Amino acid sequence: MSMKDTVPPPLFAPEPRAAAPRSLCTDCGLSRLEIAGECGQACQFIRPDYPTMEDRVQGRQRQTDTDERFFGPYKKMYRAALKEPLEGAQWTGLTTRIAQRLLEEGAVDAVLTMAPDPDDKWKPLPVIVTDPAQMAQVRGMRMGYAPLLSLLEPAAAAGHKRLAIIGIPCQVYALRRIEAQLGLEKLYVIGTPCSDNTTTANFHDFLGRLSDDPDTITYLEFRADYHVELRFEDGSHREIPFLKLPLSDLSPDFFPLTCRTCVDYTNVLADITVGYMGGEGEQWLIVRNERGQELLDRLGDEVRLSAPGDKGKRAGAVKGFLENTRRAAGGLPLRKMPDWVRPIVAWMMPRIGPRGLEFARARVEMKAVETVLHLRREEPKKIKWMIPAHVWALAKPYDLTPEDGEER
């Protein structure tokens, strides 16, 4: 590939303007734009309107009697992998390769995404990418928030009118709300799922509990087989079952309220969602509309596609999560599990737990349950406007239904 032969120019990381003060904010970057006043109508955490946005972006609202109930509107869903996985990618690199193809084919002027901060590889840094070879530098996952949408002004100033944006759901929701004001000729939105994000500082605290030498950790992922995978600078690997993670003494607000109550796990307003949850060890692709199909087609035979698997029953796992979340009273769900139970459950989960699409459904339902419980405890007055109908529908089988004044 050409990126091996040429030295790409340095990444362009424009200095964002200061953020406007906001409560319940993941600093998606909108408050750093001239149109910062749009936060009120554009923020996922204020008054999200998914039915309108699904109509506008995907041409229709999600069906309530199919898997769209969990994953939002889509045309096709696949288990997927790049046949030749890309070095440094979080999984096989489908996300960055899709964007790279757009640059290679001249279909966009620039890609807006996150690079590792040069001073802290785990901190996301918003960058404007114009050379396909530069995409190698943005592969992989960082933990934390960075103002992706702040890049819209410098991108416009540079004359970029055809953009691809790689974003997590709270960034993509705000982007879609302001899309019509941007005057773009073309916009491709490549989304990843997202859950349990936290500040980069909190994440360093977590890494410090996993290893005596946390600076040597180069990769971390919460896999669909209930293990955290760690890779180290010396090439070694470690796999830790979720239930053996040293979570019990993390502070209860380790995950900010935004991420404990986020209502869009699977990035339903993206053109294509690239994750791993339904992929059983491979990646998981959700093609949501014609533009998403075009993005997948551009990969040609570089990608291997198959039908996602679907095994096990999620109800027990979701009920257990609900009870743990209740017992933890605002803290982390695993806090109160007795130590001797953990190794047994950790051994059992990959063997009997839900897998493939059933695992993805379970995680989406857990997220819905968590949203209701945490908002009831911490911001009950915001429930009416923050929880959309689709989240109530996901929580209903677990006897969580709107109480007086909680429904719009």
Ligand X SMILES: Cc1cc2nc3c(=O)[nH]c(=O)nc-3n(C[C@H](O)[C@H](O)[C@H](O)COP(=O)(O)OP(=O)(O)OC[C@H]3O[C@@H](n4cnc5c(N)ncnc54)[C@H](O)[C@@H]3O)c2cc1C
Contact residues toward ligand X (CB under 6 A) are 89-96, 113-114, 124, 138-144, 166, 168, 192-195, 197, 274-277, 283
Task: State which of residues 11, 16, 42, 190 lies at the interface with ligand SF4 (CB under 6 A).
Answer: 42
Radius of gyration of the chain (CA): 20
Using CA atoms, how far apart are residues 345 and 322, in angstroms rounded to an integer? 16
Residues 350-389 within binding reach of ligand SF4 (CB under 6 A): none
Task: Return contacts of 64-70, CB within 8 angstroms, 24+ apart.
Answer: 64/393, 67/357, 67/361, 69/390, 69/393, 69/394, 70/266, 70/360, 70/361, 70/364, 70/365, 70/394
Task: State which of residues 94, 190, 262, 395 lies at the interface with ligand SF4 (CB under 6 A).
Answer: 262
| 52: enclosing H helix or E strand | helix 50-58
Q: Is 58 in the site for ligand SF4 (CB under 6 A)?
A: no
12 DSSP assignment: B
134 DSSP assignment: G
Task: State which of residues 92, 258, 283, 289 lies at the interface with ligand SF4 (CB under 6 A).
Answer: 258
The listed partner (ligand SF4, ligand X, none) that binds 138, CB under 5 to 8 Å by sort, is ligand X
56's tokens:
């506008």
| Interaction pattern, residues 170-199, with ligand SF4; x per rule: CB under 6 A | x---x-------------------xx-x--
Whether the Cβ atoms of residue 12 and residue 130 lie closer than 8 Å to each other: yes
248 DSSP assignment: T
238's tokens:
């470690």
Q: How far is the CB of 153 from ligand X (least distance, A)?
A: 18
The listed partner (ligand SF4, ligand X, none) that binds 170, CB under 5 to 8 Å by sort, is ligand SF4
Q: How far is the CB of 298 from ligand SF4 (least distance, A)?
A: 26
Whether the Cβ atoms of residue 267 and residue 193 lie closer than 8 Å to each other: yes
Q: How far is the CB of 337 from ligand X (least distance, A)?
A: 21
The listed partner (ligand SF4, ligand X, none) that binds 386, CB under 5 to 8 Å by sort, is none
Judged by CB, which is closer to ligand X: 198, or 289? 198
The listed partner (ligand X, ligand SF4, none) that binds 45, CB under 5 to 8 Å by sort, is ligand SF4
Q: Is 169 in the site for ligand SF4 (CB under 6 A)?
A: yes
Using CA atoms, how far apart are residues 394 and 406, in angstroms rounded to an integer? 15
Q: How far is the CB of 218 from ligand X (least distance, A)?
A: 13
User: Which burial class, exposed, middle or buried, applies to 167 when counting CB atoms under 10 A from its CB (0-12, 13-18, 19+)?
Assistant: buried
Judged by CB, which is closer to ligand SF4: 42, or 373? 42
Q: Can you tell me which residue has the tokens 């691809």?
A: 164
| Interaction pattern, residues 194-233, with ligand SF4; x per rule: CB under 6 A | xx-x------------------------------------
Task: State which of residues 11, 12, 16, 31 lies at the interface with ligand SF4 (CB under 6 A).
Answer: 31
Walk across the sheet containing 303-306 and list its strands: 120-129, 110-117, 162-167, 186-191, 272-275, 283-287, 76-82, 303-306
- Residues in contact with ligand SF4 by CB under 6 A are 22, 25-28, 30-31, 39, 42-43, 45, 168-170, 174, 194-195, 197, 258-259, 262
